[in-house]
Amino acid sequence: MVGAVPSSSINIPLFDPELESAVAATLVRVEEGLHAAVFSGDPLIAEAARHLVDAGGKRFRPLLVAISAQFGEYHRPEVVSAAEVVELTHLATLYHDDVMDEALLRRGAPSANARWSNSVAILVGDFLFARAADVAAQLGPEAVRIQASTFSRLVHGQIAETVGPRDAPPVEHYLYVLAEKTGSLMATSARFGAMFSGAPTDQVEALARYGEAMGIAFQLSDDLIDIASESPQSGKTPGTDLREGVPTLPVLYALASDETDAASVRLRDLLADGPVTDDDRHAEALGLLRESAALKRARETVRGYAEQAREHLAPLPDTAARRALEHLCEFIADRTS
């Protein structure tokens, strides 16, 4: 089928055969580079480091690199290396996240911490961060600086998520966490693609702003799918966040609501104590959330960030790559409808 990038599990249409071919070729090279980058002479480290690379995934960050590179000389080898940096950084955070969340599964397979141990998973995550830094060093000091700054934001976001809102309003805190944990690396992905293809500086900055807003919209849409989908579209059983007590945006909106109708009052009561583990209460809460004004408001928030992302594309020329990025805004917003 023309238009869908086969290497991306989210199956994003690009609608232009030449663009699709160029992006797909880049992603194939990235995949080869990732396997080479995680090689180790120690069999245990090699197997554990390959664990999530072999499991696949959305590869959304390399996809952003590849599309953003279309505004310059996309065939440069530096573009592939830049995509490896952002994906290795992302994979490293997943190893650490699974330890902190005590997750048993990742991408349908046993998580690294479940298969080996927490200590091994943490250290393998550190190994992947080191490999990302090594590839970045080959791209020059500016790449190292940007990757280090992005890593700092990722850590700030993880700490903020771990300690909770403190004095910040819960919704404001939640959106800050998303910006730091997801938006930052998406911004760097778009920046790297444009930067290492030699695109003009104003276009590099526009794409970085686009990536940040799109990253927040993308993560929000994943959170909404966890509630709204009747099937495991997000890669996990619907309602998992609710069962685990993860306070996603629809839940925060529901808890902050002052609506007095019976459904809203009952929903707040069900959500008030955190994790909803009882099967009957979980089913009831999930049903009420799906019909709530809170979910509708969260969808509007996703669309708001997607529209922000689209507006950031204004300085870019009207090309197939720009149209693909614009369509991505619609794709992210529509997948939660």
What average pLDDT does this structure show over 256-261? 92
* Interatomic CA distance for residues 197 and 122, integer angstroms: 34
Residue 106: pLDDT band (50, 70, 90) is: low
Owner of token pair 């055969």: 17
CATH 1.10.3210.10 corresponds to the domain 200-337: no
pLDDT of residue 1: 36
pLDDT of residue 287: 94
Architecture of the domain defined by 16-199 = Orthogonal Bundle (1.10)
User: How distant, in Å, are the alpha carbons of 89, 158, 256, 309 from that of 126?
Assistant: 10, 15, 38, 32
Whether the pLDDT of residue 74 is over 60: the answer is yes
Residue 268: pLDDT band (50, 70, 90) is: very high
User: How distant, in Å, are the alpha carbons of 107, 184, 191 from that of 57?
Assistant: 7, 19, 21
Please provide the average confidence, as pLDDT, over all residues in the chain.
89
pLDDT of residue 103: 65
Q: For 275-309, write each residue's pLDDT tens digit.
A: 999 999 999 999 999 999 999 999 999 999 999 99
* Interatomic CA distance for residues 124 and 112, integer angstroms: 9
Whether the pLDDT of residue 228 is over 90: the answer is no
Are 187 and 90 in contact by the 8 Å Cβ rule? The answer is no
CB under 8 A, 24+ apart: contacts of 304-309: 305/213, 305/214, 305/216, 305/217, 305/220, 306/213, 306/214, 306/217, 306/330, 306/332, 306/333, 308/213, 309/210, 309/211, 309/213, 309/214, 309/217
Which regions of the chain carry the CATH code 1.10.600.10?
A: 16-199, 200-337
Q: Which has more confidence, 199 or 11?
A: 199
Residue 56: pLDDT band (50, 70, 90) is: confident
Are 252 and 223 in contact by the 8 Å Cβ rule? The answer is no
- The DSSP element (H or E) to which 109 belongs, if any, is strand 109-110
Are 94 and 39 in contact by the 8 Å Cβ rule? The answer is no
Residue 2: pLDDT band (50, 70, 90) is: very low
SS3 102: coil
What torsion, rounded to 10 degrees, do the Cα atoms 82, 88, 93, 96 define?
Answer: -160
Q: What is the CA radius of gyration of the chain?
A: 20
pTM above 0.85, yes or no: yes
